Amino acid sequence: MAASLKTGFSVYNSCEANFKSKAKGSTSLCSSGFGTLQLPELSTKEFLGRSLDLSNQTGLNHWNVKDSKPILVNAQASICFSKAMRWWEKTLKPNMVEIHSTKELVNSLLNAGHRLVIIDFYSPGCGGCKALHPKICQLAESNPDAIFLKVNYEELKTMCHTLHIHVLPFFRFYRGARGKVCSFSCTNATIKKFKDALARYGTDQCSLGPAKGLDESELLALASIGLLSRNSSLDSKQRFEEFVLAGVDMSSSLDKSDNRVGLKEGKQLLMA
């Protein structure tokens, strides 16, 4: 974990001055001249609550003080720690997008046009996901026209249950008006499955009509548990393109007995 050290000093002698510095710094005093105070490399513990005797420092001849009189520096330090990146945040490429909501997933698919979209379902605690992540990043870099959407299973568990995601890592491939073209689970040992799908669906392809995204049955299922809402005035052909996040329970307008709602919360998740 990286850390940076910032300090504040007060110098007391025949006159008084305050200045701010890092481990090394410069100051001007209210005496007959100006001088540079070179501070030694000090550890964090040496700063906190201690006085430093700098009477032997070079450059004292510029100060209007006697060498025999010690110069005391009262120092205070604060340490700022930078947060270490988690494994799923490392080596991400510009075409890799983290999804944080159902609306974001739906809109990303609908706005992709004819570009290939790959949804990568993962979990922070999945060893197979962690091992596969560097290779997925490499494939994303070598296929800049494809869009990689990363879905954290733990963050969007209800949505994943509804989409029948029960094994990780898991991938879905989407292409334009065709919608979902394939889906599968793979690991480092079976990465060829991913590469074959990328080669098959990653070439330039044009299809008539707008991008389809999720199946209409999946959108209805997501709406039935309150993750999406729809404009009931739209005809059935347009409905799947107009779902938006609303946070409104749509179960009253949909058949609660619909068996397309998805997996139950208690279904066990399998991780590679």
CATH code at 129? 3.40.30.10
Q: What is the mean pLDDT of each run of 10 residues along the chain (272 residues)?
A: 48 42 40 46 53 54 52 53 82 96 96 95 96 97 97 97 96 95 96 96 77 94 88 41 43 37 56 82
User: Is 132 within the bounds of a domain?
Assistant: yes
State residue 80's pLDDT score. Answer: 52
**Nearest residue to 7 via CA among 31, 43, 33:** 43
User: Is 241 within the bounds of a domain?
Assistant: no
DSSP letter assigned to residue 149: E
Q: Which residues pair with 183 in a beta bridge?
A: 172
Strand, helix or coil at 18? strand
State residue 34's pLDDT score. Answer: 41
- Give the residue numbers spanning the domain of 197: 87-225
Looking at 15, 30, 80, 126, which residue is catalytic? 126
Contact 8, 76 (CB under 8 A): yes
Cα–Cα distance measured from residue 228 to residue 231, given in angstroms and rounded to the nearest whole number: 10
User: Is 205 within the bounds of a domain?
Assistant: yes
Query: 245 to each of 43, 98, 100, 103, how far by Cα in Å?
Result: 52, 17, 12, 5
Q: Cis check for the bond before 169: say yes or no (omega within 30 of 0).
A: yes
Looking at 30, 80, 129, 206, which residue is catalytic? 129
User: Is 256 within the bounds of a domain?
Assistant: no
User: Is 248 within the bounds of a domain?
Assistant: no
User: Is 206 within the bounds of a domain?
Assistant: yes
State residue 208's pLDDT score. Answer: 73
User: Is 117 within the bounds of a domain?
Assistant: yes
**Nearest residue to 177 via CA among 114, 257, 105, 244:** 114
- The DSSP code sequence of 107-126 is HHHHTTTTSEEEEEEE-TT-
Respond yes or no: is residue 137 known to be catalytic. Answer: no
Query: 191 to each of 132, 180, 203, how far by Cα in Å?
Result: 8, 20, 19
Question: Considering its fold, how many domains does the chain have in total?
Answer: 1
Q: How far is CA 153 from the centre of its chain?
A: 14
State residue 5's pLDDT score. Answer: 46
State residue 100's pLDDT score. Answer: 97
State residue 53's pLDDT score. Answer: 57
Burial per residue of 195-205, b for 16 or more beta-carbon CB atoms within 10 angstroms, e otherwise = eebbeebbeee
Tell me if the pTM is above 0.85. no
Respond yes or no: is residue 126 known to be catalytic. Answer: yes
**Nearest residue to 181 via CA among 196, 211, 201:** 201
